[in-house]
Amino acid sequence: MVTLKDISKECGVSQATVSKALNGLPDIGEETANYIRSVAKRMGYLPNATARALKLGSSHNIGILFVDKTCSGLTHEYFAEILNSLKVEAERLGYDVTFISKDIGKFSMDYYRHAKYRNCDGVVIASVDFKDPDVVRLVESEIPTVTLDYAFDSRTSVLSDNVGGMQEIVKHIYEKGHRRIAFIHGEDTSVTQKRLASFFKACAAFDMHVPEEYIRPALYHDPRSSGLATRELLALPERPTCILYPDDFSFVGGMNELEQQGLSIPDDMSVVGYDGILLSQVLRPKLTTFRQDAETMGRKAAALLIEQIENPKSWLPQLVNVSGNLLEGDSVKDLKS
């Protein structure tokens, strides 16, 4: 590997001069600087990120925290998309992305210690149990963090607009003439709570009564549980005319159940998903769903984290709401026509 020392020898100047020339510091003569730069290029010089990090105390490296157990984090298209845009934006701004986990080799450590150990300048936290004490410890530490889809006090977070999304969905369905809407929701998380609250509020705003039995629990990303919930809804004396699913993928469970009972979408039952993943756009009938703008979320998360890293003085915690948009498919029947 070619180092500063090699270049300094080749050029007949000191290491300090080479360093300053390559970093564009003002106190090197233009001629010398150009010469040094050309030699560096010729020799194929590459700064050593490790040495730099050691000296500067900042690694230009951010950590990313995803759940590891069920691996449902990465395989969920929503998160995969977020991760991807996060990575692209971080790299654009000169930062690399490293995974953070609990254990590393023989050492068992928590997230905070792992991030410290790797000298991460900051960490993006997504798709984890936000009640986990280890997560809380990391968030409350001096390391800059940005959380996704969950807000901590006095920390920056990027939130998908679940309230607005749910509202738009209900409005859309209402305008299509539906008055009996069922909602199969995911497991109890802050996202679910927001969607539920927004659902109730929107229904109330349209003067729709929501029978208790129209609200069914299921799991995210789990067609089986959504299928069961669908079956229960279909067995009700007074069936809903439209069913909201926890997410697009879970809807597949409902789709199967409806088909099995000989019901067709949307003629016998209207359905709506959530997420707007690719699958929702290729199913027939095309699924009406609310697209979460994962690309923007990842990009903003990276940008906000790096902003915080580079300007700690002027930093203030922010809650950024990323709005999505309704994708109208053919899965909601227009009851007024």
Q: Which residues bind DNA (CB under 7 A)?
A: 1, 3-5, 12-17, 19-20, 22-23, 27-33, 45-48, 51-52, 54-57
Residue 92 or 201: the one with the smaller Cβ distance to its own copies is 92
**One-letter identity of residue 265:** I
CA distance 234 to 240: 8
Question: Of 273, 238, 322, nearest to 77 (Cα)?
Answer: 273
Select the binding partner of residue 85 from DNA, its own copies, none (C-beta < 5 to 8 A, by kind).
its own copies
Residue 28 or 304: the one with the smaller Cβ distance to DNA is 28
Residue 16 or 117: the one with the smaller Cβ distance to its own copies is 117
Residue 57 or 237: the one with the smaller Cβ distance to DNA is 57
Q: Beta-carbon neighbour count of residue 102 at 10 Å? A: 15
Supply the minimum distance, in Å, between the C-beta of residue 45 and DNA: 7
Supply the minimum distance, in Å, between the C-beta of residue 67 and its own copies: 10
Supply the minimum distance, in Å, between the C-beta of residue 302 and DNA: 23
Select the binding partner of residue 16 from DNA, its own copies, none (C-beta < 5 to 8 A, by kind).
DNA
The answer to whether 224 and 193 have CB atoms below 8 angstroms apart is no
Supply the minimum distance, in Å, between the C-beta of residue 208 and its own copies: 31
User: Tell me, what DSSP letter sits at residue 288?
Assistant: B
Task: Kindly state the tokens that stand for 109.
Answer: 């450590």
In a 10 Å sphere around its CB, with 0-12 CB exposed, 13-18 middle and 19+ buried, how is residue 119 labelled? middle
Supply the minimum distance, in Å, between the C-beta of residue 35 and its own copies: 20
Residue with tokens 């922010």: 318
Residue 90 or 202: the one with the smaller Cβ distance to its own copies is 90
Residue 56 or 204: the one with the smaller Cβ distance to DNA is 56
Task: Kindly state the tokens that stand for 15.
Answer: 């290491």
The answer to whether 94 and 115 have CB atoms below 8 angstroms apart is no
Supply the minimum distance, in Å, between the C-beta of residue 94 and its own copies: 3
Select the binding partner of residue 117 from DNA, its own copies, none (C-beta < 5 to 8 A, by kind).
its own copies
Q: What does DSSP say about strands 122-125 and 181-185: parallel, antiparallel, or unpaired?
A: unpaired
CA distance 18 to 4: 7
Select the binding partner of residue 187 from its own copies, DNA, none (C-beta < 5 to 8 A, by kind).
none
Residue 203 or 306: the one with the smaller Cβ distance to its own copies is 306
Maximal CA-CA distance, the chain: 90
Residue 86 or 203: the one with the smaller Cβ distance to its own copies is 86
Helices 30-43, 4-11: inter-axial angle, 10-degree rounding: 120
CA distance 193 to 257: 26
Supply the minimum distance, in Å, between the C-beta of residue 26 and DNA: 7
DSSP E strands, 66-217: 96-100, 103-104, 107-108, 122-125, 145-148, 156-160, 181-185, 215-217
Select the binding partner of residue 99 from its own copies, DNA, none (C-beta < 5 to 8 A, by kind).
its own copies
Query: Interface with its own copies by CB under 8 A: which residues?
Result: 1, 46-51, 53-54, 59-61, 68, 71, 73-75, 77, 80-81, 83-85, 87-88, 91-99, 101, 103-107, 109, 113, 116-119, 223-224, 249, 252-253, 255-256, 259-260, 278-279, 282-284
Supply the minimum distance, in Å, between the C-beta of residue 311 and DNA: 16
Alpha helices, H only, 140-212: 162-175, 190-205
